[in-house]
């Protein structure tokens, strides 16, 4: 077990050390050691915000770490919040975890060092900026935010406050993805010419709310069997809309986004399929396979100069309105990347032609990786557990557990495997591809200054209005 260095101790609050000193007086160091946990003064305290699909998955790993103590949980909904507090308290066998409805109260606590944020994308910017400005180190979910402008704000505030940031792009912490990226980075496939990033298309009923909606719609004479066909001003829409449950703070849930009527099939997890709150399959996945594609290319801090996308969209005001199919062509210019040639990247969703995952194609071969497998032009590479040391001239960052890597970096104050500016750059091709699809034009992106060139209408889509009283940082 690593103990805190004096540099990292200085990051922790004075109040926490006073509390820790009190705790240590009650339980001796050897008693803590017997319990398999670090003394309180060596533990990183954490608050978790958002207990839907990803919150519990992340938190369960943090709970297993002997040098971490989850002390607070926040969720807008009563049931997930109660589940969070019970899970945490039963793990520790105490009643110490405090429950919060308002994340600002959790963030105001000086005795909390870190936060795990797993809320819908439309809330990322406000929460992350407030947490960073309060000097909390952040494990924040992908995509970094819902717009480019929001992402730029998060990067700025995180860097100004010198916090440690880990993005939930956990594929970087798996050996197969690192092996693929190292094969590319060490030139085994020659000069990279093309990259294919395969993502899902359509919509997936993560929230399990579609059957109930379709059952309601089945009562109509002209049966509608798809939420993408439900639009305002129709009997189907009127059936889909309801009053929010009495104990659900819908106004806060919508937060900075445009107020819309409550529709259950747009809330729990399925907020992804509505551009008011999420970014569809493209933005849900770009922080995974797009992130890995950039890692292999060494493009963590750069981006494409030209982006051209086409997509199939439901009506813009449809209940689920995010693209069901899309194809985005990105051009990474050699003058910008420092490569000896331009690189073309295709990001495709719901395409029969491009497999899920990341595939790099070079002058001497290719390599493909996905959660479901690994393949390459050279079958020797497939057999390797890792790139042999003799060929591993460029060694990529090694993290064997993504949340563990965050805690280690909180202690050492070294960058994590997916710091905030990497999360920003990994998702830019998705954001810009979406803007290209929505405007129907090729986007020319100034990589250095991060502006869209000569296109005022497209530039407007880099941001979005915030609903009062919310104000973007
Ligand atoms: N890294 C991954 O593999 C992965 C997988 C799934 C989701 N995610 C990301 O995690 C985030 C959450 O996604 P999810 O699928 O868990 O969503 P979800 O809808 O299942 O859960 C979100 C939770 O946040 C709560 N919430 C919403 N607004 C809040 C607020 N203002 N204050 C406090 N709580 C609030 C909701 O009540 C809900 O319980 C998203 O950014 C998503 O992209 C990442």
**Is 85 in the same domain as 115?**
yes
At 348, is the pLDDT very low, low, confident or very high (cuts 50, 70, 90)? Answer: very high
Mutate to test the pocket of ligand 1, among 55, 104, 106, 119 (most ligand atoms within 8 A of CB): 119
Measured CA to CA, the distance from residue 171 to residue 18 in angstroms comes to 38
Last residue of a domain, one of 224, 244, 273: 273
Measured CA to CA, the distance from residue 190 to residue 361 in angstroms comes to 9
Asked whether residue 432 carries a pLDDT value surpassing 50, the answer given is: yes
Q: Which residue has the tokens 């405090």?
A: 98
Domain-located, residue 255 = yes
Q: Which residue has the tokens 């502006």?
A: 451
Domain-located, residue 404 = no
Asked whether residue 14 carries a pLDDT value surpassing 90, the answer given is: no
At 53, is the pLDDT very low, low, confident or very high (cuts 50, 70, 90)? Answer: very high
Mutate to test the pocket of ligand 1, among 48, 81, 84, 120 (most ligand atoms within 8 A of CB): 120
**Is 324 in the same domain as 430?**
yes
pLDDT for 171-209, tens place per residue?
999 999 999 999 999 999 999 999 999 999 999 999 999
Token couple for 11: 């990051």
Which residues form ligand 1's pocket by a CB distance below 6 Å?
A: 49-55, 74-77, 80, 103, 118-121, 123, 141-142, 168, 170, 252-253, 255, 268-269, 284
pLDDT for 218-267, tens place per residue?
999 988 999 999 999 999 999 999 999 999 999 999 999 999 999 999 99
DSSP state of 189: T
Range of the domain at 142: 6-171
- Hey, whose CA ends up nearest to atom 28 of ligand 1? 253
Q: Ligand 1 center to residue 473 CA distance, Å?
A: 21
**Is 19 in the same domain as 122?**
yes
**Is 153 in the same domain as 180?**
no
Q: Ligand 1 center to residue 120 CA distance, Å?
A: 4
Token couple for 328: 């985005």
**Is 287 in the same domain as 341?**
yes
Domain-located, residue 465 = no
Q: Given the DSSP bridges, would you call strands 343-349 and 192-199 parallel, antiparallel or unpaired?
A: parallel
Which ligand 1 atom minimizes the distance to the CA of 53? Answer: 16
Q: Ligand 1 center to residue 156 CA distance, Å?
A: 23
Q: Ligand 1 center to residue 254 CA distance, Å?
A: 13
**Is 323 in the same domain as 455?**
yes
**Is 216 in the same domain as 114?**
no
- CB burial of 64-87 (b: ≥16 within 10 Å; e: otherwise) equals ebebbbbbbbbbbbeebbebbbeb
Which ligand 1 atom minimizes the distance to the CA of 269? Answer: 19
- Hey, whose CA ends up nearest to atom 10 of ligand 1? 118
**Is 50 in the same domain as 98?**
yes
**Is 125 in the same domain as 234?**
no
Q: Ligand 1 center to residue 51 CA distance, Å?
A: 7
On the CB side of 156, how many CA atoms lie within 13 Å of its CA? Answer: 10
DSSP state of 257: S
What's 77's domain CATH number? 3.40.50.720
What's 453's domain CATH number? 3.30.360.10
**Is 299 in the same domain as 192?**
yes
Residue 265's SS3 state is: helix
Measured CA to CA, the distance from residue 363 to residue 100 in angstroms comes to 55
Which ligand 1 atom minimizes the distance to the CA of 255? Answer: 31
Domain-located, residue 409 = no
- CB burial of 231-242 (b: ≥16 within 10 Å; e: otherwise) equals beeeebbebbee
Q: Which residue has the tokens 């750059």?
A: 425
**Is 222 in the same domain as 156?**
no
pLDDT for 59-110, tens place per residue?
999 999 999 999 999 999 999 999 999 999 999 999 999 999 999 999 999 9
Token couple for 461: 């889509």
**Is 325 in the same domain as 391?**
yes
Asked whether residue 20 carries a pLDDT value surpassing 80, the answer given is: no
Mutate to test the pocket of ligand 1, among 84, 141, 322 (most ligand atoms within 8 A of CB): 141
At 35, is the pLDDT very low, low, confident or very high (cuts 50, 70, 90)? Answer: low
Residue 271's SS3 state is: helix
Query: Residue 338 class from Cβ within 10 Å (0-12 exposed, 13-18 middle, 19+ buried)?
Result: exposed
Domain-located, residue 377 = yes
Q: Ligand 1 center to residue 197 CA distance, Å?
A: 24
Domain-located, residue 468 = no
The number of distinct structural domains making up the chain is 3
This prediction's pTM:
0.93
Measured CA to CA, the distance from residue 155 to residue 128 in angstroms comes to 10
Last residue of a domain, one of 171, 191, 219: 171
Domain-located, residue 142 = yes
């Amino acid at each position: 077990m690593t103990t805190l260095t004096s540099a990292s101790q200085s990051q922790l609050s004075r109040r926490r050390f006073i509390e820790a000193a009190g705790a240590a007086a009650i339980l001796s160091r050897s008693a803590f050691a017997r319990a398999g946990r670090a003394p309180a003064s060596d533990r990183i305290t954490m608050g978790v915000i958002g207990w839907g699909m990803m919150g519990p998955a992340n938190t369960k790993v943090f709970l297993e770490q002997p040098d971490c103590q989850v002390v607070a949980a926040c969720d807008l909904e009563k049931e997930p919040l109660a589940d969070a507090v019970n899970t945490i308290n039963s793990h520790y066998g105490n009643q110490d975890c405090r429950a919060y409805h308002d994340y600002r109260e959790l963030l105001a606590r000086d005795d909390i060092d870190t936060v795990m944020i797993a809320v819908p994308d439309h809330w990322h910017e406000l929460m992350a900026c407030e947490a960073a400005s309060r000097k909390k180190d952040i494990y924040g979910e992908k995509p970094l935010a819902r717009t480019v402008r929001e992402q730029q704000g998060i990067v700025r505030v995180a860097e100004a406050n010198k916090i440690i940031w880990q993005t939930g792009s956990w594929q970087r912490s798996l050996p197969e993805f690192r092996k693929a990226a190292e094969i590319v980075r060490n030139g085994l496939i020659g000069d990279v010419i093309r990259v294919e990033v395969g993502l899902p298309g359509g919509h997936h009923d993560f929230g399990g709310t579609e059957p109930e909606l379709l059952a309601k719609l089945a009562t109509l004479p002209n049966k509608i069997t798809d939420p993408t066909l439900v639009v305002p001003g129709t009997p189907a829409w009127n059936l889909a809309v309801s009053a929010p449950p009495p104990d659900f703070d819908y106004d806060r849930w919508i937060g900075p986004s445009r107020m819309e009527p409550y529709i259950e099939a747009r809330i729990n997890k399925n907020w992804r399929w509505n551009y008011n709150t999420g970014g569809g399959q493209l933005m849900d996945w770009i922080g995974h396979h797009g992130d890995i594609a950039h890692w292999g290319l060494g493009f963590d801090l750069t981006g494409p100069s030209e982006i051209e996308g086409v997509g199939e969209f439901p009506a813009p005001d449809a209940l689920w309105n995010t693209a069901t199919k899309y194809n985005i062509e990105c051009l990474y210019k050699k003058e910008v990347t420092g490569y000896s040639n331009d690189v073309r990247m295709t990001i495709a969703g719901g395409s029969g032609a491009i497999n899920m995952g990341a595939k790099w194609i070079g002058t001497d071969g290719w390599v493909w990786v996905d959660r479901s497998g690994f393949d390459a032009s050279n079958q020797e590479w497939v057999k390797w557990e890792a790139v042999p040391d003799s060929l591993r001239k460029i060694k990529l960052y090694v993290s064997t557990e993504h949340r563990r890597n965050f805690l280690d970096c909180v202690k050492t104050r070294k960058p994590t495997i997916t710091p905030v500016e990497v999360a920003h750059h990994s998702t830019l091709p998705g954001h810009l591809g979406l803007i290209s699809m929505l405007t129907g034009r090729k986007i020319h992106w100034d990589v250095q200054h991060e502006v869209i060139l000569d296109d005022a209408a497209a530039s407007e889509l880099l941001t979005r209005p915030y609903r009062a009283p919310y104000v973007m940082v």
